[in-house]
Amino acid sequence: MRTIIAVDIGGTQLRAAAYKKDQLQPITQKRVKTNASEPDTFGRLVNLIEDIWPKDEGVGAIGVSSPGPLDPHTGVIMSPPNIKEWRDFPITEKLRERFGIPAYLDNDANLAGLAEWKFGAGRGHHNILYLTVSTGVGGGVIIDDRLLQGHHGLAAELGHTTVQADGPLCGCGQRGHLESYSSGTGIERFVADQLSAGRESVLHPNKKNSAHDISEAAERGDALSIEAYAIAGKYLGIGVANFLHAFNPSIVIFGGGVSQSGPLLFDAFGKSLKERVIHPRYLDGLAITKAELGDDSGLLGARALAELKLSL
């Protein structure tokens, strides 16, 4: 009963894999399209799990990673952005009914942090700040080797930290969140606003310029694009200083596409972080590094959650 099935519910793909204890590679795995426009996502998920169910192994539990908001204590997915049929969907109860074994749930950013703690860049650390910087900004926090979840399981929503109360609009409708500055969406918004105001750039004002387009223009020396990433990095430093003051971790791990931008983002980040920390001891021995697990962080985090729950 030491085999775990891990499930990663993404906006474009449903993935599942079976892991034996102490083996990093899965013994079986499969992915299918989420097909979010079609109903019965749960039926497709059940088929996927049946497909990868190992024939010769007892399975101890199912771990599930999903976008939030969700409640890990009750196993209910509240309103995932990409699967409209799931509203207050009790996924762990449904899986337990169908497969007869316990199921555990948490959100993708929390579980990516947990995966990095157990299998990735955070091994050996007891206090970890994981940040994913991509379309949005998400957080996962490990404190004394335990995943921070909070009363309703809504902790570590770090992208929605206000760093400039009168700042730009965030995707959530609030102003001045870290995500409104440092996410891909934030970088794109800044460039679009500046282009609309007549700012010169190699980027076209009438086209949707992605964060990737902007980073390419920056690499070619476009001043607006360089500034866009520098602002994202500056506010990322301010946000991380807040999180160091709150959690005092020994490592900060960055995942997500925007965090692959190198010095374009991280030069300004490092300068800002150093300026904003209230005592140098927060930076004393602090590791700042990239996530190691890439696309598999959701699966490995779901697996780590289930293993923790079963005390494997």
Chain contacts with a second copy (rule: CB under 8 A): 69, 78, 126-127, 141, 143-144, 146, 148-158, 160-166, 172, 174, 176, 235, 238, 241-243, 245-250, 276, 278-279, 281-282, 284-285
Q: How far is the CB of 107 from a second copy (least distance, A)?
A: 12
Tokens of 118: 């157990």
**CB of residue 222 to a second copy, shortest distance in Å:** 25
Query: How near is the Cβ of 214 to a second copy at its closest, in Å?
Result: 22
Structure token digits, residue 75: 């196993």
Is the Cβ of residue 62 or residue 170 nearer to a second copy in the bound state? 170
Q: Give me the long-range contacts of 17-25 (CB less than 8 A, separation at least 24).
A: 17/52, 17/299, 17/303, 18/52, 18/53, 18/54, 18/57, 18/59, 19/303, 20/57, 21/307, 21/312, 24/119
- 95's CB contacts (< 8 A; 6+ apart) are 49, 62, 64, 103
Q: By the 8 A CB rule, do 13 and 33 touch?
A: yes
- Token readout for 269 is 């980040």
Rounded least distance, CB 95 to a second copy, Å: 23
User: What one-character DSSP code corresponds to residue 231?
Assistant: H
Of 108, 23, 105, nearest in space to 61 by CA: 105
Residue closer to a second copy (CB basis): 146 or 204: 146
- Nearest distance from residue 115's CB to a second copy, in Å? 20
Nearer to a second copy, 149 or 210 (CB): 149
Task: Return the number of the residue (59 or 83) whose C-beta is nearest a second copy.
Answer: 83
Of 307, 295, 312, nearest to 120 by C-alpha is 295
SS3 198: coil
Nearest residue (CB) to a second copy, 15 versus 276: 276
CB-nearer residue toward a second copy: 249 or 301: 249
The nearest distance, CB 155 to a second copy, in angstroms, is 4
Distances in Å between the alpha carbon of 36 and those of 13, 44, 86, 153?
A: 9, 11, 10, 25
